[in-house]
A and B are shown apart, each in its own frame.
Chain A
Amino acid sequence: MMRRRDFLKKTSSLFFLSSSSYFSKALGNSQSLSNSVRIAVIGTGGMGTRHLEALAVNPQCVILAVCDVAKSRYYEAIKIVENLSNKTPDGYQDFRRVLERSDIDAVFVATPDHWHPLITIMACKAGKDVYVEKPVCTTIQEGRAMVDTARRYGRVVQVGTQQRSMPVFQKAMHLIHSGVIGTITSARAWVGVNEWKAGEKIEPIPKGLDWDLWLGPAPYVPFSKERFVGFMGFFDYARGGQLTNWGIHLMDVVHWGIQQDSPLTVYASGGSYRQGAGADNYETIEAVFEYPGCLVTWEQRHSSTHGNKAYGIAFYGTEGALFIDRNSFIIKPDSKGIPEFIGEPEKSWANPQHHNNFFECIRTRNIPVADIEQGFRSTSAVLLAGISLRCKRKLVWDKNTERFVNDSDANKYLIRAYRPPWHL
């Protein structure tokens, strides 16, 4: 039986906190399930709550702490966990207190986008494994730092692209990889529009909210509800709205199907034509990516549908096409005689199989099914589209140097200055 370590508790250290035991799980015991992974959920807003609901009833883990910059939110979170599991987690406003705890093995990061990189990195350095929501980052430099840090500290980092664990997608991939639609020469991903509007009303900071901590590495601005609740409409926190919200999920599937992970070139165009011309993130977007051997398009538009699906991915191969969303997939032409595959309807955005793969890899120290490097590549694709959108020109991407070729202006978008004292 493995004994716990006592570590020197470091007080108020900013970024590097005592590490918890790396292998306290299972290596001494053969039954993996009898040792639950001790977790904390950081960011208990919409997505965070979905995770809590699933994790609270998952025997492979136990929720020891919840954390949110808004006290009211973490009070709610504590109640949710109590109701579902009869256990009371601790509540924190500052995630650094969570990372200091040596009894926490892994953290779930469900904060707004601009915090994903730094919490992931700091958690890795503190000896925790991390499940980070998508999009993984807002700039290429951040994503690369996340991958580097995960590898440097040998941590398991799973990205919340749960479609990798959904049977409907797995089955479709088996078929695609077996060659049933031939060689894939183009693919498409599509979703509905962004609906952000410009404007915000500056208000005093609500009680119980640590606004400076919410902003973190982003520039300091006064509080507004529009920012706090609608962060996806602001460039400082989310680089593209739907492009980075759904874009990751869908481009991840494209990458999975065509077995590539970096585009050669990207050209994106669009605008806000009906509303929100003053908002940061565009309403209608179309992006074209050239991948080796394959052309990929991303579409974000009003009343979007292809093949009866309001959002989804399509693969066009030399011998047929496959259309898929989270419910089902269908292979055309009908003459191929492959029946439509209808999967289990998605009950929640939090996916227990995806969680369990994370827990299993924590035991075996393997790369999980939605590893950070892969999640970074999927995120990169849409980030690059976002950059091309702003630059209004076709950009050529060098995946080895992780820079645009011959475009120093576009390269400026690859980093964002972090507000001190926060740094990657």
Chain B
Amino acid sequence: MCFFEIVSIALMFFSPSDFDTSLSVELLIQKLSSKSELDHAIARQLLSLKNPVVVVPKILPFLESEDPDIKGTTRNILIDLANDSKKWGGDVRKNLSHILIESFLDSKRSTSAREDILKALIFTVDDEVDLLPLKEYLINEEWREKIRTALVEANTKPAKSLLCDSLDVLDDKAKSAILLGLYQLDGVPCEEKVISLLSSSNPELRASAVLSLSNTPSPIYAEKIFQVCVLEPEISDYYQQNWDSLLRITERILQTGGNWSYAINLYKKILAFSKSQSIVCSAIFGLGRYGDDSVAEFLSELVITSEGEKKKCAMCALSQISSKGIADKLLNLCGRLSLEEQAMLLPGLLRENNREINETVINILSTPIGKEKFINSFWEEPNCNYLNYLTYLDKDITEIQRNKIIQSLWKYVSTNTEENQECKGKAYMLLYKMAPPDEKPYAMSGLKKFPITEVTQDLLQDILKEGYDSLPFPLLFELYGALPNEDERKGRLKGLLISQIKESSLELILSIVSESKYLDNFPSLAGFITSWKLIGPFPWSFGEGIDSDYGVLNAVEGNKGVEFRGKRFEWKSVKTEGWGYVNLMHLCEGKDEECSNICAFALANIKITEAQESYLLLGSDDGYRLWVNGELIDAKNVDRGMKVDEEKLPIKLLPGSNKILLQITQIRGGWNFCARLVDKENKPLKFEMEGN
């Protein structure tokens, strides 16, 4: 009969109020005797949801069954109930623990049943359940190991104290087993006993005591372990193990913090006193993982004074340290090492960037091991500095190596670090160059988001093929610069660029174009007046305002010079610098005393075809006065830095030639200005300049 049939029959004879939990438990337990696997499965599911104190005593007999399915299912139900016992609350759990302990103590049960009960007990006990009844079984040889296992895995206070107590009565081998159990748990419960065992004459016991102390980050324990290590004879079976424990506790101390100098010194002592090669190297690696610049100093010395394995370990360790000031040490060392050895220092060298490092790295890359190390280190711990060398490396590597680089690049661009935008752009650029054709489109879409620093011909062609209307400013600007002048698409690109300059924030654009090698294209695109004639510097002071014109107003026509206070001044032709500003410091030769409290004039001749509403967008350091065709338009006497487009001054430009004259004052510090012309929609004005 199937389950539902039984239940419905049962329902016929019992009203709902009689259908209490114990009854359904009986029914379910009946299912355990069934031959059907499905019955077992359901029994397990449903019994596991019932109150364990009720179920467990009833199912324990099934643990004795000969049928492996019944026995196995019962065991599983027991484990399920034990694991889930917490939800029934403290009293149920306690009762369950007592039931299990009693059942275990019942020697009429089979050994395997008692073992199963023990396994369940692990999950029902907590710090309140006393485990003393198990003590005699811990001493008893037949059960000792199983009880020990149960106590260790139960990991409660009573369990640990029982383990500790047994240390008093067991023989050495058994003591050692107890200590190995305590080693797996946190803390050292019976500290005094364990420490006293450090001086045991039995090396195995000694070593187990050392082991059980080695997980606690205590310098006091470390000192004791060190004593044991130093006194342990080299031929002892436990020589290496003890030193390994010392290494472990040193690591713990460094991970927890608070005793850095002590622990680093401990590594150095291990290095000096241990006679095992692998322990010495491990101490060196420890110095590499946790060390600072002073440790780097020590390791460099070690590289110089050691040979063979130790030297290699020291080099590897040294290249792991990432504090400031390492680069110089590494470069110094490179002078004394062969190229293959220098390859081991690559990760350290590549954390910083300067000309000397560049030269050294390129040398190292000429060796096969150098290439392998570079590629694997880039994969392991990528940073921006590696990118510069990848183009150099591209020529001479295998397919597999290229694949590895491409993998690393994809990993690099997809991880969300606050890395430099320019670096990501570089990485996408490299991906575009190196990735297989089916991945190039994805590299391209990445490129569209980051500033790129050089445009190859294929990239150019691909982008132009795709269409460039929706490309962002950085990419458009690079394309515009890379296209030859005759290219008819250049005009279209120019239009797109100009419309973006109109819309976007100019400061952001300026920061982008300043990095570009096509920077020279920018000023005219944005409408900057790039050709000026300057005259000055004239003495001036902030206090007096900007009133005097020193006779310059009369010198605007015909290139006339000016004489002021016995000195002769002539107009000088200059062009803007960078993205389109005029640096007036040239007039005073940049000397502090001479470059303060002065002013100068700048004159530009603008030709337009038809009159229209126009604005002069001006930024100046410091103050200014503006005349257009002889009429004073505006003045501001301020102390400020130059900010592009700070002033928006409406001006009337006539068809034909127009003279724009600026007087720019200088208090101290920077002295410059920038001026551009836009129409009423803020688009750069179309004009010609004299002197262009």
Contacts and interface: CB of A to CB of B under 8 A. Distances in A.
A364 B376 contact: yes
Given A178-B414, A366-B380, A409-B123, A424 B184 contact: yes
Contacts of B247: 152
A125 B86 CA distance: 41
B80 interface: yes
B153 A30 contact: no
A391 B84 CA distance: 6
A23 B377 CA distance: 17
A306 interface: no
B410 interface: yes
B442 A178 contact: yes
Contact of A21 (B153, B240, B309, B403): B309
Given A12-B237, A22-B309, A153 B282 contact: yes
A91 to B, nearest CB: 25
A277 B282 contact: no
A271 B44 CA distance: 9
Contacts of A421: 176-177, 180, 204
Nearest to B286: A152
A365 B149 CA distance: 39
B41 interface: yes
A366 B69 CA distance: 50
B155 A412 contact: yes
B162 interface: no
Interface residues of B, number: 95
Interface stretch (B71-79, B349-357, B575-583, B620-628): B71-79
B439 interface: yes
Contacts of B221: none
A5 B410 CA distance: 42
A28 B340 CA distance: 7
B97 to A, nearest CB: 12
B692 interface: no
Contacts of A198: 68-69, 71-73
B140 interface: no
A22 B281 contact: yes
Dominant SS among interface residues on chain A: loop
Interface string A392-421: 110000000000000011011001111111
Interface residues of A, number: 81
B305 to A, nearest CB: 18
Nearest to A390: B83
A68 to B, nearest CB: 25
B63 to A, nearest CB: 11
A273 B368 contact: no
Nearest to B406: A174
Contact of B445 (A31, A177, A178): A178
Given A125-B244, A179-B445, A409 B149 contact: no
B40 A127 contact: no
B277 interface: yes
B138 interface: no
B48 interface: yes
A199 interface: yes
Contacts of B45: 271
Contacts of B146: 219
Given A22-B312, A178-B445, A392-B83, A277 B44 contact: yes
Contact of B68 (A16, A178, A278): A278
Interface string B73-102: 111100110011011000000000000000
Contact of B439 (A14, A178, A393, A408): A178
A380 interface: no
B373 interface: yes
Interface string B121-164: 01100100000000000000000011011001111000000000
Given A141-B184, A154-B281, A417-B181, 9 more contacts: A32-B369, A152-B285, A154-B282, A277-B69, A278-B72, A391-B83, A408-B126, A412-B122, A416-B153
Interface of B: 37-38, 40-41, 43-45, 48, 68-76, 79-80, 83-84, 86-87, 122-123, 126, 145-146, 148-149, 152-155, 176-177, 180-181, 183-185, 204, 211, 234-235, 237, 239-241, 244, 247-248, 251, 276-278, 281-282, 285-286, 289, 308-309, 312-313, 316, 340-341, 343-344, 367-369, 372-373, 376-377, 379-380, 400, 403, 406-407, 410-411, 413-415, 435, 438-439, 442-443, 445-446
27 contacts: A8-B234, A19-B278, A23-B309, A141-B184, A153-B285, A154-B281, A154-B316, A177-B413, A178-B410, A178-B443, A259-B415, A272-B37, A272-B44, A273-B38, A274-B38, A278-B72, A360-B372, A360-B376, A361-B376, A363-B372, A364-B372, A367-B379, A392-B83, A412-B155, A415-B155, A419-B145, A420-B177
